[in-house]
Structure 1
Amino acid sequence: MTQFVSAEEALKVVKSRHSVFIQTAAATPQRLVKALTARAPEVQGVKIYSIHTEGDCSYAAPELEESFDVHSFFNGGNLRHTRKNLNSIFVPMFLSEIPHLFYSGAVPLDVALVQVSPPDNHGMCSLGPSVDISISAVRTAKVVIAQVNPKVPRSFGDAQIEFSKIHYAVEVNEELYIAPQTETSDIEIRVGRNVASLIEDGATLQMGIGAIPDATLRALTGHKDLGVHTEMFSDGLVDLYKTGAISNRFKARMGGKIVSSFVLGSRKVYDFIDNNPMVVMMDAAYTNDSHIIRQNPKVVAINSAIEVDLTGQVCADSIGARIYSGIGGQMDFMRGAALSPGGKPIIALPSKTSKGQSKIVPFLKEGAGVTTTRAHVHYVVTEHGIAHLYGKTLKERVEALIAIADPEFQEELVRSSQKVLGF
């Protein structure tokens, strides 16, 4: 029987050395997180598992290390702000594999903290914008504590859970996290147009959040019969859908449906998925399974990077040895797209950083992680053009990547290429 209690009362169930999951992104249950952090003086060694939360994450502060042992599969800005060094808390894993940690019992969860819509006439709630690895936590945790919030959109697919399966319910009425909106630069628009030039009618799209994915989507308004099978999407996809460019008619898996595992953006995207049978929110073990992805036609995977070396190695999770974000689903979709009939795995990025440094480099920084190997990368796109690397020798790759680097750095890259090629 579900009990309605305060957040403080509910979190008393968390004891020392328990394992606790916190739901993702827009659905991060802020009131439960604050009540959990308040338990710090009374608990020790509580393991916290999450991917990319938003809002307060004071539990991750270094001074609370004895109380909370954080395990983060992907780090957002809130964690970077709270804790300067993320290396000790980062768990490198493909997003597709994380649910199996919970399903297999390799990580037994004691408590799952989530946020859901109020129950409908059939006693069903929805995880709304964040199903991802959250549904695997709900299905396997011994105790489920949920904020019940009418602002949570009612999404379908794996998002649906029985209200009776929630042990403690905390009533709130609060807006979900709204991602900051930024202006798209001329450079990002040019990158987006170059990416869009690779996308054919009838393609199946995977894209993330950010200026380049949004710029790409804006450049696709003249396309026809696009499909969507992605790990996440934001406002830009809603705008493209309204133009009629997306029909999902050629998809082999869940034809006619937009398939995702979480959404993050403004109220626009949360309202779009609310009670929308066209959108199916699924477990990340499904959305990010390369065997599933590859069955769709012309899968275009659009991902970004911190830096790319002249042989095509991609670093997307660290700046040198310092962990910045995470692995996420990049490799899941890069491989799935490569195996899809007519698929195109794409790394898209500006040629320079905000500090004016080249993002195409002779060698990755010392200690940098290789998120995507040189063998998996088919296309690298900047505002200066497209480097098609598939089937090319290292020498041909070096030439193609220098050609799309910022002209300011091309001579230097040519000189460095001798070392890259072992001359």
Structure 2
Amino acid sequence: MEWTKEPESYEEVEACVDAVLARVGKRIVLGLPLGIGKANHFANALYARAERDPSITLTIFTALTLERPASGNELQRRFVQPLLDRLYRDYHDLAYNQARRKGLLPRNVEVCEFFMQPGSMLNVPSAQQDYVSSNYTLVPRDLLDRGVNLIAQMVSPAPDSSGDYSLSSNPDLTLPLLALAEERNHGPIVVVGEVNPRLPFVGGDARVSESLFDFVLEGESFEQDIFPAPNAPVGITDYALSFHIASLVKDGGTLQVGIGALGDAICHTLRLRQTHNQEFSDILHSLQSELDATVSTIPAESSLFTRGIYGASEMVPEGFLHLRRAGVMKRKVYQDATLQSLLNAGTFSDCASEDLLLALRDSGRIQSPLTEADTKFLQAMGIIDPSYSWRGHRFLDEGGEMEECDLHSTAGRTKLLGSVAGKPIAGGTWLHGGFYLGSTSLYRELREMDPGELAGINMTGIDYINALEKDRELKRAQRQHARFVNSAMMVTLNGAVVSDGLANGKVVSGVGGQYNFVAQAQELPGGRSIIALSSTRTTGGRVQSNIVWEYPNCTIPRHLRDVVVTEYGIADLRGKSDRDVMVSMICITDSRFQRELLSKARAAGKVERGFKIPAAYRNNTPHRLEAIFEQGHRPALLPYYPLGTDFTEQEAQLAVALQSLKEAGRNIFTYWPLLRKGRDIAKHRLDEFPAVRACLERLGFDGSDDYHHRLLAYLVAGAYSKFFDDKRALGDTADPTDENGS
């Protein structure tokens, strides 16, 4: 598509709002990107205008509205406040979200989200009522059906004099929405760009001309740090899951994972497979050696990555950059199906060579002599010398024409290759992504990345990442041995997946792209969808199974069941009968809940009464996993923050301690050992434990006479004391003196 208009530039947001209203009118359907790409200043000013003027009708359609960390209780408040001052000091919260949370949205404003920050809106009626359940790839259609007429997005200015901008983190919906609008003759959609130089400039499809925009907001007031999402601590359960998942990833394959502790664990474990292969193999053997073919016959992968893997992920996690540095994420793909298929065969390297030219000719991709189209293709890919001219099949130089050359002879092919012989093919992409979100380290690394390295990342439309409809042949060639990893809250015994909502209809998050990837895996040769979940959860101090007999809400129906992984193993469900699916799921369930689930399956006639759970799966307990991971120097290989964190060392330890308190709930029987130990330390032994003293000072509990505060201090001291004999490392932590909080 082509745009020829020149944007109007504004330094004052109110003036820009005036101009937009004059262009669009008072009925506004605003599309805001998900995550960090929102134009917060403009969105807040437009919302404030609609608040003051009831004649304006404003619908905001978006997803993943980010908020600064909230403090739900006394401990959280004391932990969070310094983080707000250090990491979020210049972040502008979205006014519509604050009003929505308080039930104060005016009648003329509607906010619709198709994916919410997980768990953040469970008790907000307007958010629950206005939630739109939609596959990620269908959001452009839904926006057009609602009459979208305005997009407002944070963009990054080009580092050169081109005047271009980068959609950076969020070409995911903007590009396909505008393309679909043009295809449908939808009518004008006004585009506002809010320019922030601190947003990384990412090229590829995300690089767009200034003529894409109708209005541009530029000035110091729009320059602010990008919203950080500090990495959460990784627990033993996530590590156990990640080893099983890493054993499913093939060298030369494709990977998609999401954000969060599990994603961090998966990336770290894949890195261990490459950098500490013997240790990786030993731990994997400890986890899987006793398992048999009852639940899975998929061969375990534990070899080094020689060809590497390619990333095709709607969400670009920080761990992918770590995998790139470790030599794991190094397989490049190219925008030509024939060339990609030849490279997949492993006969050729991705360098310009005589053999590659002949193979392209023999496959029918190019002709001999070369046509104009062949020449453009080969030169764009860096496979023949840029000075070759298809006219007369000759090289041209300043002095005139050189001798004729073509594909028929060795001499001709050598001439064609010329200066590019043996050099890497151009246009290789090691990562296609839809959006990114992470720590300050992620943003800094993208800003500082070498241009040649950054060129291997193509942030693009979500229709390219999540679906096969367009360029199907090319995507099938690129996405070899695809492994699409998505998390779930629960899985039923028959393989239906619950990822987005509760039994009472409340939405936890949204479908997002999960269904897209599950369906895509079924269509790709060698592709597999991997649903990962912890086998249990602890709510209010009570342990419950995440593998259930039935559930009224379903995100992925059972007819798309594929691979399910818990910390206790891998269940390959594809193509299996209901009976075998249920048996497989029982085998990867926590042993405390296996008997109950088996009884229900027997009562329903789904599993024969004589079936007995194999001995290898009767010891699915946290104690067994802890014993495996505590052996030798294994704890040192599995830090709490394998990718680093924006937390300081003290905050990182506190986050682990507070997480353990949250899981314990409010049960006095689970709290009592911590209270007793913490009381002893806090009252009598603080001089022996200066780290505990510093921790209590950090939370403001030093010298407190309040009884409630003293109990909280004892709990924290007890939970914090686990680090005194903990063999697991923290990982890299932030320097609190760093002005950027990185």
Q: 3-state DSSP class of the match of 2:36? A: coil
Which whole-Å CA distance do the structure 1 matches of 2:556 and 2:198 have between them?
37
CA offsets per residue over residues 309-351 of structure 1, 9 Å max, x none?
A: 0000011110121111111111111122222222111100111
- The residue that corresponds to 1:219 in the other structure is 269
Q: 3-state DSSP class of the match of 1:178? A: coil
- What is the Cα deviation at residue 73 of structure 1? 1.4
- After superposition, residues 5-404 of structure 1 pair within 5 angstroms as 5-12=11-18, 13-14=20-21, 16-39=26-49, 40-43=51-54, 44-55=56-67, 56-60=93-97, 61=100, 62-77=103-118, 80=121, 83-84=124-125, 86-102=127-143, 105-119=144-158, 120-137=160-177, 142-171=189-218, 172-221=222-271, 222=274, 223-224=304-305, 225-249=308-332, 256-274=429-447, 275=451, 276-291=454-469, 292=472, 293-295=475-477, 296-320=479-503, 321-355=505-539, 356-364=543-551, 366=552, 368=553, 370-404=554-588
Checking the alignment, whether the CA contact within 8 Å between 2:122 and 2:508 is kept in structure 1 is no
- What is the Cα deviation at residue 354 of structure 1? 3.8
- What is the Cα deviation at residue 220 of structure 1? 1.2
- What is the Cα deviation at residue 281 of structure 1? 0.5
Task: Count matched residues.
Answer: 418
In structure 2, relative to structure 1, the CA distance for the partners of 1:161 and 1:81 (3 Å cut) is: farther
In structure 2, relative to structure 1, the CA distance for the partners of 1:95 and 1:308 (3 Å cut) is: same
Letter in 1 for 2:96: Y
Checking the alignment, whether the CA contact within 8 Å between 2:136 and 2:512 is kept in structure 1 is yes
Whose strand fraction is larger, Structure 1's or Structure 2's? 1
Let me know the Cα RMSD of the aligned residues: 2.3
In structure 2, relative to structure 1, the CA distance for the partners of 1:59 and 1:420 (3 Å cut) is: farther
Point out the more displaced range, 245-254 or 231-240.
245-254
Q: 3-state DSSP class of the match of 2:494? A: coil
- What is the Cα deviation at residue 113 of structure 1? 1.0
- What is the Cα deviation at residue 284 of structure 1? 0.6
In structure 2, relative to structure 1, the CA distance for the partners of 1:418 and 1:278 (3 Å cut) is: same
In structure 2, relative to structure 1, the CA distance for the partners of 1:354 and 1:169 (3 Å cut) is: farther
Checking the alignment, whether the CA contact within 8 Å between 1:234 and 1:264 is kept in structure 2 is yes
In structure 2, relative to structure 1, the CA distance for the partners of 1:127 and 1:250 (3 Å cut) is: closer
CA offsets per residue over residues 120-158 of structure 1, 9 Å max, x none?
A: 411210011122113345665632222111101111222
Checking the alignment, whether the CA contact within 8 Å between 1:28 and 1:54 is kept in structure 2 is no
Checking the alignment, whether the CA contact within 8 Å between 2:563 and 2:574 is kept in structure 1 is yes
- What is the Cα deviation at residue 85 of structure 1? 5.6
Whose helix fraction is larger, Structure 1's or Structure 2's? 2
Letter in 1 for 2:489: I
- What is the Cα deviation at residue 174 of structure 1? 0.2
- What is the Cα deviation at residue 420 of structure 1? 5.0
In structure 2, relative to structure 1, the CA distance for the partners of 1:137 and 1:267 (3 Å cut) is: farther
Checking the alignment, whether the CA contact within 8 Å between 1:150 and 1:173 is kept in structure 2 is yes
CA offsets per residue over residues 193-239 of structure 1, 9 Å max, x none?
A: 11111111111001111111221111112241111111112211111
- The residue that corresponds to 2:654 in the other structure is none
- What is the Cα deviation at residue 184 of structure 1? 0.2
Point out the more displaced range, 196-205 or 81-90.
81-90
Q: 3-state DSSP class of the match of 2:564? A: strand
Point out the more displaced range, 244-253 or 224-233.
244-253
Which whole-Å CA distance do the structure 2 matches of 1:117 and 1:78 have between them?
31
Point out the more displaced range, 242-251 or 306-315.
242-251
Which whole-Å CA distance do the structure 1 matches of 2:245 and 2:173 have between them?
29
Point out the more displaced range, 273-282 or 345-354.
273-282
Structure 2: gaps spanning 5 or more residues? 1-6, 68-92, 182-187, 275-303, 341-426, 608-742
In structure 2, relative to structure 1, the CA distance for the partners of 1:109 and 1:214 (3 Å cut) is: same
Point out the more displaced range, 34-43 or 223-232.
34-43
Q: From the CA coordinates, give the structure whose radius of gyration is larger.
A: 2
Task: Name the TM-score, length of structure 2 as normaliser.
Answer: 0.53
Which whole-Å CA distance do the structure 2 matches of 1:248 and 1:99 have between them?
31
Checking the alignment, whether the CA contact within 8 Å between 2:517 and 2:529 is kept in structure 1 is yes
Checking the alignment, whether the CA contact within 8 Å between 2:497 and 2:555 is kept in structure 1 is yes
Letter in 1 for 2:442: V
In structure 2, relative to structure 1, the CA distance for the partners of 1:42 and 1:419 (3 Å cut) is: farther
- What is the Cα deviation at residue 168 of structure 1? 2.5
Q: 3-state DSSP class of the match of 1:232? A: strand
- What is the Cα deviation at residue 294 of structure 1? 4.1
In structure 2, relative to structure 1, the CA distance for the partners of 1:106 and 1:157 (3 Å cut) is: farther
Point out the more displaced range, 87-96 or 181-190.
87-96
Letter in 2 for 1:161: V
